[in-house]
Amino acid sequence: MESLLIHHIGQLAGIRTQSRPLKGNCLSDFLCLENAWMLIREGRISAFGSMEEDWRGATHDPGASDSRRGPGDTSDQAGGPIREIDAGGALVLPAWCDSHTHIVFAGSREQEFVDKIKGKSYAEIAAKGGGILNSARKLAETPEEDLYDMAYNRLLECMRMGTGAIEIKSGYGLSTEAELKMLRVIRRLKQNAPIPVRATFLGAHAFPVAFKNNRNAYIDLVLEEMLPLIEAEGLADYIDVFCEEGFFTQPETERICRAGLERGLIPKIHANQLNRSGGVQAGVAVEALSVDHLETIGQEEIACLQGSATIATLLPGAAFFLRMGYPPARAMVDAGLTLALASDYNPGSCPSGNMNFVVALACIQMKLTPEEAINAATINGAYAMGVGQEVGSITEGKKANLIFMRPVPSLA
């Protein structure tokens, strides 16, 4: 694979020598190098520095000051070709790490969009068999091949908007056959996508109509039929539950997560979106990697998260599209929590995977600074999907999944 030398980078932003999740006020730690170059080998960040100092010498033989070469010299120390790219003063950032999406779905739910404009709430639509159940009906009728094509196009769409790692959930199947169909689609995305993909099993997204009056029978199906098959085929990395009034209770959530843990799936939970449902407490109890949404989080939940390693993932796109209040992000940072940002791309509550918009909403509506929002959407997002050592910052050895923006006066 040829090496790439990128020069005349206006600002190289998001540099870290040590990679770790950023807790509390460390969320604003941000290093930016003006007028920089970067060398990429085998798709990974190999070296970077300032244009004023060492760029050509360093690309030849890192650390050796007597090995500088002239501008025409374009082979690296291993003798392979180096392609040069003039970034023309671009701002270069680590790509977004979107740790919460539902991009495998069969179609849009635009009628519900209109219903919401006319005054129906997300919960009312769901209670009448719309929402997640609507998506499940459509998905059951859609062949795996078509689902794959649609999801792959959405993934490419997200990449074009700067996403460089993505987590994808099942949860529109709600039957063994359809949940496995979704997870197999995600497995193919994992194999074929040029960016890291992580798979989450969300069989406990809603109760299918047939189980409305027999909730335990559906939970048994998730635990006793779906989970063993998913483990046998190695189809998921994480387990998720929609802990919410009208969906799964706190004890049910904990039970499902523990069953997932026994099969090697770490929990990432939908918590406190519409109500204070106990989702945060459940997440902390099962040592979830993340609890996501948190639109209705209170002081009690913040205190509960304080002593834990669980990441608080905010999805301001969902609050925007559902016209809901935003989580108290500032108070959460000040309380020392680890905050991540993700899109929640899905056909109901957030029909967009645009992480630039998510970062803007985090600044405008939740009062995070640009540095905090970018960290939450890159390095902390990476840790919230288990790829923190691979992507999410400008660090030697990490994948060179980058965003190039046109020259701008500053990060803000």
Binding mask 214-243 for ligand NIG (x = CB under 6 A): ----------------------------x-
Where do we find the tokens 């078509």?
146
Q: How far is the CB of 357 from ligand NIG (least distance, A)?
A: 16
Out of ligand NIG, Fe ion, none, what residue 131 binds, judged by CB under 5 to 8 A for its kind, is: ligand NIG
Residue 344 near Fe ion by CB under 5 A? yes
Residue 227 CA to residue 341 CA, distance in Å, equals 28
Q: How far is the CB of 30 from Fe ion (least distance, A)?
A: 28
Cβ proximity of 269 and 241 under 8 Å:
yes
Residues 6 or more apart whose CB falls under 8 angstroms from that of 361 comprise: 316, 317, 319, 320, 326
Out of Fe ion, ligand NIG, none, what residue 195 binds, judged by CB under 5 to 8 A for its kind, is: none
Residue 143 CA to residue 145 CA, distance in Å, equals 5
Out of Fe ion, ligand NIG, none, what residue 348 binds, judged by CB under 5 to 8 A for its kind, is: ligand NIG
**Of all helices (H) and strands (E), which one includes residue 96?**
strand 96-98
**Of all helices (H) and strands (E), which one includes residue 312?**
strand 311-314
Based on the number of CB atoms within 10 Å of its own CB, is 395 exposed (0-12), middle (13-18) or buried (19 or more)?
buried
DSSP state of 210: G
Residue 299 CA to residue 328 CA, distance in Å, equals 10
Residue 182 CA to residue 286 CA, distance in Å, equals 25
Instruction: Tell me the residue nearest to ligand NIG as measured from the CB.
Output: 348
Q: How far is the CB of 344 from Fe ion (least distance, A)?
A: 4
| Interface positions, 102-131, toward ligand NIG (CB under 6 A) | 131
Q: How far is the CB of 110 from ligand NIG (least distance, A)?
A: 13
Whole-angstrom CA distances from 237 to 62, 70, 202, 230 are 37, 48, 11, 10
Nearer CB in complex with ligand NIG: 90/182: 182
From candidates 163, 273, 277, 296, binder to ligand NIG by CB under 6 A: 273
How many residues in the shown chain lie near ligand NIG by CB under 6 A? Answer: 12
| Interface positions, 9-48, toward ligand NIG (CB under 6 A) | none
Nearer CB in complex with ligand NIG: 132/266: 132
Read off the tokens for 349: 């509550």
Which of the stretches 43-51, 134-142, 338-346, 399-407 binds Fe ion when contact is defined by CB under 5 A? 338-346
Which of the stretches 41-49, 188-196, 256-264, 339-347 binds ligand NIG when contact is defined by CB under 6 A? 339-347
Nearer CB in complex with Fe ion: 10/171: 171
Residue 318 near ligand NIG by CB under 6 A? yes
Read off the tokens for 3: 């090496």
Nearer CB in complex with Fe ion: 237/344: 344
Residue 170 near ligand NIG by CB under 6 A? no
Residues 6 or more apart whose CB falls under 8 angstroms from that of 382 comprise: 97, 99, 165, 388, 390, 391, 392, 393
From candidates 170, 277, 313, 346, binder to ligand NIG by CB under 6 A: 346
Question: At what angle are helices 144-160 and 176-192 packed, to 10 degrees?
Answer: 40
Residue 23 CA to residue 27 CA, distance in Å, equals 6
Strand partners, 144: none
Residue 349 near ligand NIG by CB under 6 A? yes
Sites of contact with ligand NIG (CB under 6 A): 131-132, 135, 242, 270, 273, 318, 344, 346-349
Sites of contact with Fe ion (CB under 5 A): 344
